[in-house]
Structure 1
Amino acid sequence: MGRFDEARFALEAMSGGKNTLLMDDMGLPSVMVRIPCFRWSEVYEEGEDTVCSAFIVDGKVKDSIYISKYLNVVERGRAYSLPDRDPAHTITIDDAREACARKGPGWHLMSNAEWAALAHWCRKNGTLPRGNTNAGRDVTAVHEHGVLAPPSGIGAGKHPEARTLTGSGPDAWSHDWTAAGITDLVGNVWDMVSGLRLVDGEIQIIPDNDSAMNVDESEKSPLWRAVDTSGNLVAPGSPNTYKYDGVNPGSPDDTAPLVPGGVRLGTSVRQPQYTGPRTDADYFAWTMMPFRSMAADVAPHVLLKALGLYPLSERLGGDNFFVRNYGERLPLRGGSWLDGASAGLWELYLRDSRSWIFPDVGFRAAYVEL
Structure 2
Amino acid sequence: MTVTISMPDALRQSVEAASGGVNTVLYDSKGYPSIMCVVPRFNIEDIDPALGTGTHPAFLVGGIQKSEIFVGKYLARIHDNHALSLPGQDPSASINFDNANARCSAKGPGWHMMTNAEWSAVALWCWKNGFMPRGNTNYGRDHAQTYETGRRQDGLAPGLAEGTARTLTGSGPVSWYHDNTPAGITDLCGNVWEWVRGMRMVNGEIQIIPDNNAAETDADHSAASPLWKAILQNGNLVNPGTANTLKWNATGVDGAGNPQLATSVTSQSNGETAASQLYKDLTAAGGVTVPNILKVLGLFPHATSIDRGYLYLRNLDERLPLRGGYWYNGVTAGVFSLYLNIARSTSSTTIGFRPAFVL
Q: Do Structure 1 and Structure 2 share a fold, with TM-score over 0.5?
A: yes
Q: Which residue of 2 aligns with 1:265?
A: 261
Of all paired residues, the percent bearing the same amino acid is: 45
Q: Which residue of 2 aligns with 1:69?
A: 73
Q: Which residue of 1 aligns with 2:195?
A: 192
Residue 321 of structure 1 pairs with residue 277 of structure 2: no
Residue 204 of structure 1 pairs with residue 207 of structure 2: yes
Unaligned stretches of 5+ in structure 1? 152-157, 250-258, 275-282
Q: Which residue of 2 aligns with 1:278?
A: none
User: Are the equivalent residues in 2 in contact too, given 1:261–1:289 (CA < 8 A)?
Assistant: no
Q: Which residue of 2 aligns with 1:109?
A: 113
CA drift at 1:45: 4.1
1:218-237 → structure 2 map (5 Å cutoff): 218-237=222-241
User: Are the equivalent residues in 2 in contact too, given 1:260–1:287 (CA < 8 A)?
Assistant: no
Residue 334 of structure 1 pairs with residue 324 of structure 2: yes
Structure 1 letter corresponding to 2:192: V
- Which of the residues 274, 294, 303 maps onto 1:286? 274
Q: Which residue of 1 aligns with 2:220?
A: 216
Q: Which residue of 2 aligns with 1:345?
A: 335
- Which of the residues 142, 151, 170 maps onto 2:146? 142
CA drift at 1:159: 5.3
1:237-252 → structure 2 map (5 Å cutoff): 237-248=241-252
- Which of the residues 149, 170, 175 maps onto 2:173? 170
User: Are the equivalent residues in 1 in contact too, given 2:251–2:274 (CA < 8 A)?
Assistant: no
User: Are the equivalent residues in 2 in contact too, given 1:40–1:48 (CA < 8 A)?
Assistant: yes
Distance in 1 between residues matched to 2:8 and 2:137, nearest whole Å: 34
Unaligned stretches of 5+ in structure 2? 1-5, 156-160
Distance in 2 between residues matched to 1:4 and 1:263, nearest whole Å: 51
Residue 85 of structure 1 pairs with residue 75 of structure 2: no
User: Are the equivalent residues in 1 in contact too, given 2:250–2:314 (CA < 8 A)?
Assistant: no
Secondary structure of 1:165's aligned partner: coil
User: Are the equivalent residues in 2 in contact too, given 1:72–1:365 (CA < 8 A)?
Assistant: yes
Q: Which residue of 2 aligns with 1:122?
A: 126
Count of matched residue positions in the alignment of Structure 1 and Structure 2: 346
CA drift at 1:16: 0.6
Distance in 1 between residues matched to 2:233 and 2:328, nearest whole Å: 36
Provide closer, same or farther for how the CA distance between residues 3 and 212 of structure 1 changes in structure 2, counting only shifts above 3 A: closer
Secondary structure of 2:275's aligned partner: strand
Secondary structure of 1:147's aligned partner: coil
C-alpha root-mean-square deviation of aligned residues, in Å?
Answer: 1.8
Q: Which residue of 2 aligns with 1:306?
A: 296
1:250-270 deviations in Å (ceiling 9; x for gaps): xxxxxxxxx972211110001
CA drift at 1:127: 1.9
Deviating 4+ runs (over 3 angstroms): none
CA drift at 1:4: 6.7
Distance in 2 between residues matched to 1:3 and 1:242, nearest whole Å: 46
User: Are the equivalent residues in 1 in contact too, given 2:308–2:335 (CA < 8 A)?
Assistant: no
Residue 52 of structure 1 pairs with residue 56 of structure 2: yes
User: Are the equivalent residues in 2 in contact too, given 1:44–1:120 (CA < 8 A)?
Assistant: no
User: Are the equivalent residues in 2 in contact too, given 1:265–1:295 (CA < 8 A)?
Assistant: yes
CA drift at 1:3: 9.3
